[in-house]
Amino acid sequence: MKRYHGHQQFQKVEELYEINEKIRVPVVFLISDEGPLGEFPIDEALAKAQEAELDLVLVGPKATPPVAKILDYKSFKYQKEKEAKKQKAHSKQTQIKILRLSPRIGKHDFDVRVNKAVEFIQDKDKVKVEIQLKGREKAHADVAFDVIKEFVTTVEGLVKTRVEAPVKKEGSTVGTILGPQ
């Protein structure tokens, strides 16, 4: 069973570790709380885990022989989920925010877009600034270049940024990408 959260895909801990009878290897290297116990056939390792009233969990399936550990699976699963949550909380993915301008943009609209760009950059997001040229505007791409260059210099005056892509024309769109310094 897979959980979907936003655009990322997470697997449940049960799918990551084989436990008890689900382990399908003939021999395992057994580890307990006291330390390594050595190589055992799977049925002996299961017997030792049942004797200790704990679970046998395959923690190193790619090792030769695979590594299995005798432990309390519910506690192990809880700790792994807690670690995954902590890692997720500490990682912030950079997003690209798109701001559209116009060759005939008014002063107030220009200032609003500049403030939004500053806000995005302070949040460590990248900003893609673009102007979609329509009709006769396509013949005057130089006006779009000037508007974007003015936008970039205004944003750079307010917050530390770096231009990640030079201002260029792709089809009928003129744009650039700004990122946090």
Final residue in a domain of this structure, among 41, 57, 90: 90
Whether residues 86 and 104 share a domain: the answer is: no
Whether residues 102 and 83 share a domain: the answer is: no
Whether residues 103 and 85 share a domain: the answer is: no
In the structure, what pLDDT confidence band is assigned to residue 1 with cuts at 50, 70 and 90? very low
Phi and psi torsions of 93, nearest 5°? -85, 135
Helices (H), 26-94: 42-51, 73-90
Numbers of helices and strands, H then E, in the chain = 5, 11
Whether residues 86 and 12 share a domain: the answer is: yes
Whether residues 106 and 175 share a domain: the answer is: yes
Final residue in a domain of this structure, among 90, 118, 144: 90
Whether residues 165 and 102 share a domain: the answer is: yes
Range of the domain at 130: 96-180
Neighbour-count burial for 38-71, b at 16+ CB within 10 Å, e otherwise: eebebeebbebbeeeebbbbbbeeeeeebbbbbb
Whether residues 113 and 137 share a domain: the answer is: yes
Final residue in a domain of this structure, among 74, 90, 106: 90
Whether residues 142 and 69 share a domain: the answer is: no
pLDDT in tens, 94-137: 788 999 999 999 999 999 999 999 999 998 899 999 999 999 98
pLDDT in tens, 29-60: 988 888 888 888 888 888 888 888 888 888 88
Whether residues 8 and 70 share a domain: the answer is: yes
Whether residues 40 and 84 share a domain: the answer is: yes
Q: Which of 65, 62, 75, 15 is nearest to 45 (CA)?
A: 65
| Residue 126, domain CATH | 3.30.110.10
Q: How many domains does the chain have?
A: 2
Token couple for 51: 């004797």
Query: Are the beta carbons of 52 and 12 closer than 8 angstroms?
Result: no
pLDDT at res. 111: 94
